[in-house]
Structure 1
Amino acid sequence: MASLLILRHAHEAFGHLLPLEITDEQLLSGADAGSMENVGPSVSYIPGLNALSRLFMIWHSSQAVTTQSMDNLYDHIVQAQRLLEDLPPELTWQPPHREQFAFNVQKVNLKVTQLHIRSNLLEQMNALAKYQHMRATPDAIFNERHRVVEELLDVLYNMPEEVFDANGYSIVPKIRDIGGALLDELRTGPQDLNLQASINLDKLLAKLDSLDQRIMVQAANV
C-alpha cells in the first residue's frame, strides 16, 4: 500500500492534527469525545504530548520568516512562556513535585524544551542586536538569559535525577546548550552579572557532571 507524506509549513493551522485530550478510560469505553465527560479517575497524558508539539511549532514558526526581527523573536519567547502557563495542574511547574512519576517526566521535558527554545531565541536576539549596533538591548537579553538559567537550575535541583533518566539522552544536550550560552555571558556580559553567572555555571556544571555519569553507568549496563 502506498503512503503519502504531507509536509506542512510552520504558519499553517495544525490544531486539528493533534490527538484529542481524552483519558484511556474514555477511549476504551467509546465515550463521546465531544462531551469530554470523565468516566474514570485517571487523567490523560495526551495534554503533555500536545503541549510539547505546540512548543516545537512555536520554534518552527519563529524561524519561518524571510527577515528575522527583534519583535518576531520576542513575540515567540512570550508564546513559549505562556504555553506552559496554560496546562493542567498535573503538568504545572510548582515544586514540590509529588505527582505521578510519568507526569514529572513530562514536566521536565516540557520545561527544559521551553527553556532551550527561549535560550536559542535570546541568542538570535543577541546576534541581531550586535549586527544592528544596538546598545541598550543586550543588557535586557543578558537579564532574560539569567532568568532562563535560574529556571533551569530550579528544574535540575527540584527533580530527582531518575526523572531525567526517563527522558533519555535528548534532555542533556539541551541543558548543555543553555550552559554554553551562560558561558558566553561570562565572557561578554555586564560585569555586575558575572559573579552570579559564575555561581550559576558552577551549579549547572555540577548537575551536568552527575547526569553524564548516570548516562555512562546506564550505557555500561546495557
Structure 2
Amino acid sequence: MRLVGDWFDTIHPLAPILLRRQFLRRLAQGLADVDAEFCGLVISVCAATKATLPRRDYGPVTVDYCVEFLDTHGLLRSQFTRDSFNITRCIALYNVGTAMTATTKSGLSSMRAYHALSEAAAGARYLEYYRIHEHDEAEQQLLRRLVWLLFASACSADIFGRLPISLLSPDRIENFPRPLPLSDDQMEPQSPKSCHEAPWHGDSTTYVPGLNSLSDMFLIWQEVQQVPRDVDPQTTIARYLQKVQNVLNNLQPELRWRGGLSRPANVTEGHDVQIANLFITSLNIRSNILQRFGPTISTAQEHQNIVDDLLEILYHLPQAVFDANGSSLVPKIRDIGAAYLEQAQLGNGMGKVEIGDARIKLERLLRKLDDLDCWQGIGVLESPALEGRDMIVH
C-alpha cells in the first residue's frame, strides 16, 4: 500500500493512466487474488514506483523481484488473440517496460523492456483503432493518455539514438485524439456507496494539460527530423526554436516557470514535477535542434542560454521534484551538457572569458548531475578535457 500510495502521490502527474478510487476499490475487493491481469497491473505499479523512487526503502521489493513474480505466476504472458489486449494489460506492460528501462544495466537497449513497451504500443494502437467503441468514456480517456505517453517514450528513445518502439509513422500519430483535461472526479464521480478515501490532489486536479504540452514538444522534434540538413540553418533554427517557445508560452498558469515568484493557489507539487519535465525536455529539444543544424554564428549564445535556463531550474526546484521524475531527466541533462561542452571546445564565438564561464557552468551542472545520478553508479559526462581539465563524474 505504501508503493501504491507513492505512485498516486508522486508519479501520477507524469503518468495519469489510472483512476485512483477505482484502482483502490478493486484492490480492496480482492480482485488481484482472482484476476491475473489486475494482479499484473498491481505488481507493475510496484515495479514502476520502485524504479522511479529507488532511494526509498520498500523492503524486499525491487524491479527484478516484481518481474520475477510476474514470470513465476505467468502474469502478463503474451497471448496474441483477440481478447488478449485490454487497457489493464497495456498499462501494466507500459509500467513494466519503463521500470526495466530505468533499472536494467542495458537500460533503453534492454530487449525485455523493448518487448514490453512494443506490446503495450501494439495493444493500445489496436484498441484505439478497432475497439474504442466498446469502452466507456473514462476508459477511452485513459487509453488516449497511454497512447501519447507511449509516443513520448518512443521519441525519447529516438533522441538518444535508441531503437524506438513502433507506434505510428510520423504522419499518422496525430490521427489519435488527444485526451481531454479531465480530473478523476469528472471521470468517475464519487458515489456515497464507494469506499471513502482520504482527499487526494488528483481528485479535482487534472494533469493532462501537461501531457498534451509534452506531446506538442515531441511533435515539433519529430517534425525537425524530416527537415533536410541542406536548408538555411539560421532560419531553420530560429523557426523551430520559436515553435518550442510557443508551446511554453501557451502553458496553463499552473505549469509556467516563475522562479521564486508567487504562483496560483491551486498549484500542487505534481505541477512542479511536470514543470521540471516540460522545461528540461524543451531545453533538450532546443539543444538537439542546434546540434542538428549548427554550428552557426548564433548557436554559441543559444547553447549558453539553454545551460543558463537549465541551471536555474536545477538549482531552484526542490529535490523531491527531480526524484519524482526518476531517471528520465538525467540523460536529457547529460545530453545538454555534452552539447554545450562540445560547443565550448570548438570555441565558436567564445573568447577566454566565455570559455572560463563555460567551465564554471559545466562544473555546476556536473555537481547537480552527480547528485541526481549517484544512485545509478554510471558516468554523467565523459568528454575530452576543457582547457586541460577532465570533466568526468561517476
TM bin, normalised by shorter chain, reads 0.7 to 0.9
TM-score (norm 1): 0.78
CA–CA distance in structure 2, aligned partners of residues 86 and 149 of structure 1? 22
Aligned equivalents of 1:15, 1:78: Cα separation in 2: 25
* Greater relative contact order (Cα < 8 A, sep 6+): 1
Shift of 1:50: 0.7
When normalised by structure 2's length, the TM-score is 0.46
Matched, 1:27 2:187: yes
SS of the equivalent of 1:143 reads helix
Instruction: Number of aligned residue pairs: give it.
Output: 197
Cα gap change, 1:9 to 1:72, in 2 (>3 Å):
farther
Where does residue 343 of structure 2 map in the other structure? 185
| RMSD (Å) for aligned C-alpha atoms | 2.6
Which protein has the larger Cα radius of gyration, Structure 1 or Structure 2?
2
Q: Specify which of 348, 359, 363 is matched with residue 202 of structure 1.
A: 363
- Which secondary structure state, in structure 1, belongs to the residue aligned with residue 209 of structure 2? helix
Check 1:68–1:90 CA distance in 2 against 1; reply closer, same or farther (3 A cut).
farther
Partner of 2:216: 54
Tell me the SS of whatever aligns to 2:188. helix
Residue 169 (str. 1) matches residue 327 (str. 2): yes
Q: Does residue 1:10 correspond to 2:170, yes or no?
A: yes
CA-to-partner distance for each residue in 1:95-148, whole Å, 9 max, x for gaps?
23874111111110000100000001011122xx5xxxxxxx33x110011100
One-letter code aligned to 2:251: L
For structure 2, the 5+ residue unaligned runs are 1-81, 84-122, 130-166, 190-202, 378-394
Change in Cα spacing, 1:15 to 1:108, as seen in structure 2 (3 Å) is farther
**Rounded Cα–Cα distance in structure 1 between residues aligned with 2:168 and 2:228:** 17
1:93 aligned to 2:257? yes
Structure 2 CA distance for partners of 1:68 and 1:51, relative to 1, 3 Å: farther
Q: Retained in 2: the 8 A contact 1:113–1:174?
A: yes
Post-superposition CA distance 1:58-111 (Å, at most 9, x none)? 100111234552233432221111101111111111123874111111110000
Aligned to 1:102: 270
Q: What secondary structure is seen at the aligned counterpart in 2 of 1:177?
A: helix
More helix per residue: 1 or 2?
Answer: 1
1:169 aligns to what SS in structure 2? coil
Is 1:125 aligned to 2:293, yes or no? yes
Q: Distance in 2 between matches of 1:45 and 1:68?
A: 39
Separation in 2 of the partners of 1:171 and 1:42?
27
Moved more, 87-96 or 183-192: 183-192
Task: Work out which of the residue numbers 310, 314, 319 in structure 2 matches 1:152.
Answer: 310
Per-residue deviation, 1:164? 0.9
TM-fit CA distance, 1:56: 0.9
2:329 partner letter: I
Secondary structure of the structure 2 residue equivalent to 1:170: coil
